Amino acid sequence: MKEQIHSTDRLFISEMNLDDAEFILELLQTEGWKKFIGDRNVNNKQEAEVYIRKIIDNPNFSYLAVRLKDGNVPIGMVSMIKRDYLDHHDIGFAFLPDYNGKGYAFEAASAVLNHPSTLAVHRRILATTLKHNSSSIQLLERLGLSLDKEIKVEGKELFLYSIEVDQLLLNQLTHRFFSIFNNVNGHQPDWEKMRETCLPEAIFIKKTGLEEEIYDLQSFLTPRVKILADGTLKEFKEWELSAETKISGNIAQRFSIYEKSGALNGTPFKASGNKIFQFIKTLEGWKISALVWEDFASA
């Protein structure tokens, strides 16, 4: 029986075991594995079982099989490995060619990175990739990892990427904040999440030109609760397009570009703007202490 680590909208993710021998044999024979990871000289099911056993027996290795919920079909894997030449564990991923380009690798790797078991154990997570592996580089950057430096391992020139666990936690916190303001398809906002994500004393400032409106948590929430429930604002959602976060000890700041859309009094609209979040780390974890936002002027 496989231990299910996590599930996403489309995927099951579980610890790899000997039942995965045929799948791992297929994966290790793909051109992408051999080109970007290396030939492991695994040529039959028995050798695949030996390969998996070595992984299971190594406490520095964790290989997770990724399966489609539809049919329980194995399509790829995500790994977390502590390598001798790196100070922290690094994350890796590989998928069968038929399942590339469909967002599965991002969905699975993001689930592993953000899983509580990952966040509880690791302080920093690394990743390495060949300098010419553009698809891997794009995925790592989409996951939020940043390029640290170039390294050379066994004659191969690699890019070393990294992300702090606090960065992952702030990504989660920001995503939760944006997701609150959503009434698409009859969804009802969970306003209690505002009290989970923000300090009770948090300040909210709306900038319009050189004017500003300043709110505390309650005065910020009251009109938004009303218009998202009374039909004034329908099919509303907002989401982050890009962000840059700076962390210094137990305080942090995030500059975010976001978009929003909906129908205001029956008229559809789409808009964008800037948000600046300020965070502090409390005994309960990271919290939003202040938010300033400014919508871009309409063209």
For residue 238, which of 260, 271, 206 has the smallest C-alpha distance? 260
Supply the pLDDT for residue 155.
87
- Model confidence at 3: pLDDT above 60: no
Residue 176 token pair: 């939760």
Q: What percentage of residues in the chain have a pLDDT greater than 90? A: 87
Contact 149, 130 (CB under 8 A): no
* pLDDT band at 4; cut points 50, 70, 90: low
Supply the pLDDT for residue 39.
87
Supply the pLDDT for residue 298.
61
Work out the number of other CB atoms within 10 angstroms of the CB of residue 204: 18
* pLDDT band at 2; cut points 50, 70, 90: very low
Mean pLDDT for the stretch of residues 33-55: 93
Mean pLDDT for the stretch of residues 120-146: 93
Supply the pLDDT for residue 6.
82
Q: For the chain, what's the residue count?
A: 299
Per-residue pLDDT tens digits for 83-121:
999 999 999 999 999 999 999 999 999 999 988 888 888
Q: What is the set of domains in the chain, with CATH numbers?
A: 4-163 (3.40.630.30), 181-295 (3.10.450.50)
CA distance 55 to 62: 7
pTM of the predicted protein model: 0.78
